[in-house]
Amino acid sequence: MSLTVLADHDLTSANTLGLACRAERFVAPRSAAELGEALALACRSGWPTLVLGGGSNLILPATLPGLVVQPALRAWWLEEAEGDAVRVHVEAGVVWHELVMALAERGLWGLENLALIPGHCGAAPIQNIGAYGVELAEVLEAVHLVRLDDGREAVLDAQACGFGYRDSVFKHALAGRVVITRLVLRVSRRGEPRLGYGDLARRVGASPTPLEVAEAVCAVRREKLPDPAVLGNAGSFFKNPVVSAERAAALRAVHPDMPGYPLADGRTKLAAGWLIDRCGLKGWRDGPFAVHDRQALVLVHHGGGDAAGLLAFAASIAERVERRFAVALEREPRLVGEGEGET
């Protein structure tokens, strides 16, 4: 067998929260053939299998039994489509931010608002990643995958992915059942900048290029968000809660400065970071975990903590928000064990 399987492999640096974790077995297949070998080996051996991407949106336990598979398939290429459209074929192991910047440098529109989101491309559909008014669902055409149980390949179109706000079929019916191997995205040589969120508009000129928008997004994110290479974090720890328009109006009557974003279905998306901040929790630290002092939506790990401690810390924040605003916060990173899939 050409595949290299490592025993008792340290995954502490493979998750952006920096939680100490060791995998009983670990493999990083560099091709579809090696991936097939790894899955077949796990199936024959009866090993539970976890597929790991960039480790940017998950909470790891101290040990992981079975086999951890981290695809290292890193090719991507362009395909001309009709009109100004261009299809991007990208394998799961490509770093998302590197893809975004490469496309922006080529003058291609579609992904620029999603710059500097950590993780690998294979994980992007699971979370339906989004930022600054754009979601992956808007540009994704298809997801290529392999089933863990029998190694069969399949292709899902965007509709079959069941995309929602930070949600997809990969968190539900397909959780722990497939490995995402490749995405097909649709971008364009012509486009209009999406500058309605944050202060992006003031950071760019009247007719910005995709690269200028991407660089502005990077600047904003770097000002507000900690670098996980320096301070462990998983980005936004809570989803922005969505409430009815009536509930939003009632909250705004009491809190006139409360931000809210109307959705197409009539509901309103609230800013979880604002709710946490108004509870006086920005910068609050309890042992190894803290609320970031510049962005209350981000929980940071100073080292020495574990998954149980992080979940307890997050629960105390959610409890205070619910007590003050009667709004429930939902965790965004996935806890390994709730459903195994690409992360």
**In the 3-class helix/strand/coil scheme, how is 246-313 assigned residue by residue?**
HHHHHHHHHCCCCCEEECCCCCEEECHHHHHHHCCCCCCEECCEEECCCCCCEEEECCCCCHHHHHHH
Q: Total structural domains in the chain?
A: 3
- Residue 179 near residue 90, CB atoms below 8 Å: no
Phi-psi region of 187 (alpha: psi -120 to 50; beta: other; left: phi over 0): beta
Q: Note whether residue 156 is domain-resident.
A: yes
- pLDDT (tens digit per residue) in 51-96: 999 999 899 999 999 999 999 999 999 999 999 999 999 999 999 9
CATH code of the domain covering residue 86: 3.30.465.10
Same domain, 263 and 192: no
Is pTM beyond 0.85 here?
yes
Query: Is the same domain home to 232 and 299?
Result: yes
**Cα–Cα–Cα angle for 303, 306, 307, rounded to 5 degrees:** 135
Query: Where does a domain end: 179, 203, 221?
Result: 221
Inter-residue contact 18 to 59 (CB < 8 Å): no
Domain with 51, as residue range(s), is 6-69
What tokens appear for 133 in the block?
A: 């008014």
pLDDT at 340: 43
**Checking DSSP bridges between strand 289-291 and strand 298-301, what pairing results, if any?**
antiparallel
Binned at pLDDT 50, 70 and 90, residue 1 comes out as low
Please compute the mean of the pLDDT values over residues 233-248 and round it to a whole number.
96
Q: Out of 24, 212, 322, 332, which one is annotated catalytic?
A: 332
Question: Looking up tokens 């600047």, which residue turns up?
Answer: 219
For residue 232, being part of any structural domain is answered with yes
Q: Are strands 298-301 and 49-51 parallel, antiparallel or unpaired?
A: unpaired
The DSSP bridge partners found for residue 23 are: 9, 64
Q: Which of 236, 331, 334, 340 is catalytic?
A: 236
- Greatest pairwise CA separation for the chain in angstroms: 66
Q: Over the stretch 186-203, which tens digit does the pLDDT of each residue have? A: 999 999 999 987 789 999
- State which H helix or E strand residue 58 sits in: strand 58-59
Q: Select which of 56, 138, 166, 182 is catalytic.
A: 166
Question: Mean pLDDT across the chain, nearest whole number?
Answer: 94
166 included as an active-site residue: yes
**CATH code of residue 298:** 3.90.78.10
56 is catalytic: no
Q: State pLDDT tens for residues 216-236.
A: 999 999 998 999 989 999 999
- How many beta carbons lie within 10 A of that of residue 217, not counting itself? 27
What residues pair up with 299 in beta bridges, in sequence order? Answer: 291
**Three-class DSSP labels, 127-177:** HCCEECCEEHHHCEEEEEEEECCCCCEEEEECHHHCCECCECHHHCCCCCC
